[in-house]
């Protein structure tokens, strides 16, 4: 028999041998749960679908606990696109929803399975669905909601699959740009104003003081011009307005409408054709007297309704309150068509994601474009896109007039015209989905969603 001392030693050795097995068994059994908890505490994902008129895109963003972007694979986001857009399936809602399946599968592959049930998914449809008649848009959106609910485990709500209104789009853009520039969390005086010139609308947004916010008026629909936001432990009072039908492509139509004639002084000499927008064809032909910069400017001011009655102390155009100005509007970042048109005429170099420009440069380029015949544009502006050549005069005049006469910028003011923003060692697209993602994953107890959902 073992004496007491030997028995104690034997028992002690047995415990030593068994403990590691028990430890590893216990660790493995709870490893998935532990990984889930740690990931959930330190990382957040957001899946954002941008359903545009020409195609659908999905963005997947990954954030740490400080709301800093983390890479997904070799890039700062997962991105995937497909064509055509949802509006191309106006008569077949199910086919519209099914067109998103590859994007949904791609997003599922980018987000760890154990996090998908707590990863928010939002789809914002823009110009394409807005233009559909009757209940076609709503039927497509419902089919998309059914697809997401039945074929994915992402966290979503019916109201998160919707048509994005211009105010939401403008707010998201302001958040995205200021986030990428490192301005969020700072005093509003350190933020930049954003002007996003899309095809159908243009959005302007900037932060104003609390004092201005207290006296801010409502728009003609009774909705506030200013939104109160809490982002990265700071309160912001965000002036946002979306000018529907005043985007680059819609603006052309407004100017052709304003001429009310067979010919238009903004049309390049030598071009005789039609411009189609919103289901309407507009005749595009220069008058016998030729293209006229002066007359084109006057027509553009008329289309923008620069002289419309203003019921506030200061207005931009078409009777819209301008937000009152202030420190939050001192610096300006302009995006989308401002960059695209600028790149075609040498205002910006498309090899670079952004450039410093002045509004007057658009007018100077217009002076050249408007006196050049359509057939000769390529010899003057070799980067001009064929589809835009007939409208280069009108586009440049419109961009200058919008910035200076419409939004009140000094012609010689430095603005940043951008396509992408450098963030750490990556280039991130200047677009609203990132702002939407930041809003969705914000963990602040005082969090206020930017959208009205």
* pLDDT digit string, tens, across residues 192-226: 999 999 988 899 999 999 999 999 998 888 889 99
User: Into which CATH architecture does domain 182-430 fall?
Assistant: 2-Layer Sandwich (3.30)
Could you give phi then psi for residue 187, rounded to 5 degrees? -60, 150
Which whole-number Å values give the CA distances from 398 to 74, 94, 394, in the listed order? 40, 40, 6
Q: In the predicted model, is pLDDT for residue 190 greater than 90?
A: yes
- For the chain, what's the residue count? 453
pLDDT tens string 338-394? 999 999 999 999 999 999 999 999 999 999 999 999 999 999 999 999 999 999 999
- Give residue 441's pLDDT: 82
Task: Please enumerate, by residue number, every residue annotated as part of a binding site for ATP.
Answer: 199-203
pLDDT tens string 314-328? 999 999 999 999 999
Confidence (pTM) = 0.85
- Give residue 6's pLDDT: 52
Rounded Cα–Cα distance for residues 377 and 384 (Å): 8
Nearest to 110 by CA among 161, 151, 74, 150: 74
**Which among 17-26, 49-58, 356-365 has the top mean pLDDT?**
356-365
CB contact set of 25 (below 8 Å; sequence gap of 6+): none
pLDDT tens string 30-39? 333 323 334 4
Burial zone of 223 (CB within 10 Å; 0-12 exposed, 13-18 middle, 19+ buried): exposed
Rounded Cα–Cα distance for residues 370 and 323 (Å): 34
**Active-site residue (options: 108, 122, 169, 254):** 169
- Is residue 169 part of the annotated active site? The answer reads yes
């789809």: which residue's tokens? 123
- Give residue 381's pLDDT: 98
First to last CA, the chain: 77
Structural domain boundaries in the chain? 42-163, 182-430
Rounded Cα–Cα distance for residues 118 and 47 (Å): 11
CB 253 within 8 A of CB 282: yes
Task: Please enumerate, by residue number, every residue annotated as part of a binding site.
Answer: 199-203
CATH class label, 42-163? alpha beta
Q: Tell me, yes or no, if the two domains 42-163 and 182-430 fold the same way.
A: yes
């Amino acid at each position: 028999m073992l004496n007491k001392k030997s028995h104690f030693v034997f028992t002690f050795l047995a415990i030593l041998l068994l403990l590691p097995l028990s430890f590893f068994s216990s660790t493995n059994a709870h490893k998935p749960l532990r990984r889930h908890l740690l990931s959930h505490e330190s990382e957040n994902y957001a899946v954002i679908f941008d359903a545009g008129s020409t195609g659908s895109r999905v963005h997947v963003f990954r954030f740490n606990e400080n709301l800093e972007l983390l890479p997904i694979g070799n890039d700062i986001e997962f991105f995937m696109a497909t064509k055509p857009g949802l509006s191309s399936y106006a008569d077949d809602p199910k086919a519209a929803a099914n067109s998103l399946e590859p994007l949904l599968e791609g997003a599922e592959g980018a987000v760890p399975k154990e996090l998908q049930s707590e990863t928010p998914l939002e789809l914002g449809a823009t110009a394409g669905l807005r233009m559909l008649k009757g209940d076609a848009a709503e039927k497509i959106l419902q089919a998309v909601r059914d697809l997401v609910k039945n074929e994915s485990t992402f966290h979503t709500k019916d109201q998160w699959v919707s048509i994005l209104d211009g105010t939401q789009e403008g707010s998201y853009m302001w958040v995205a740009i200021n986030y990428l520039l490192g301005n969020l969390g700072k005093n509003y005086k350190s933020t930049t104003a954003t002007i996003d010139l899309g095809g159908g609308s243009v959005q302007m947004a900037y932060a104003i003081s609390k004092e201005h916010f207290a006296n801010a008026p409502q728009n003609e629909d009774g909705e506030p011009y200013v939104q109160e936001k809490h982002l990265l432990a700071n309160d912001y009072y965000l002036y946002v307005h979306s000018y529907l039908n005043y985007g680059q492509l819609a603006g052309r139509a407004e100017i052709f409408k304003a001429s009310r004639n067979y010919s238009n002084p903004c049309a390049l000499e030598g071009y005789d054709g039609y411009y189609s927008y919103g289901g309407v064809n507009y005749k595009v032909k220069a008058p016998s007297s030729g293209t006229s910069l002066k007359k084109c400017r006057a027509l553009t001011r008329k289309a923008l309704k620069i002289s419309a009655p203003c019921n506030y102390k200061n207005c931009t155009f078409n009777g819209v309150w301008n937000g009152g100005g202030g420190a939050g509007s001192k610096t300006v970042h302009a995006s989308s068509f401002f960059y695209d048109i600028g790149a075609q005429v040498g205002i910006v170099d498309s090899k670079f994601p952004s450039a410093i420009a002045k509004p007057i440069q658009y007018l100077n380029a217009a002076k050249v474009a408007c006196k050049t015949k359509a057939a000769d544009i390529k010899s003057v502006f070799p980067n001009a896109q064929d589809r835009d050549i007939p409208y280069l005069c009108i586009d440049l005049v419109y961009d200058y007039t919008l910035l200076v006469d419409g939004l009140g910028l000094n012609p010689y003011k430095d603005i940043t015209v951008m396509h992408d923003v450098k963030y750490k060692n990556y280039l991130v697209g200047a677009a609203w989905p990132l702002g939407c993602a930041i809003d969705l994953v914000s963990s602040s107890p005082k969090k206020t969603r930017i959208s009205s959902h």
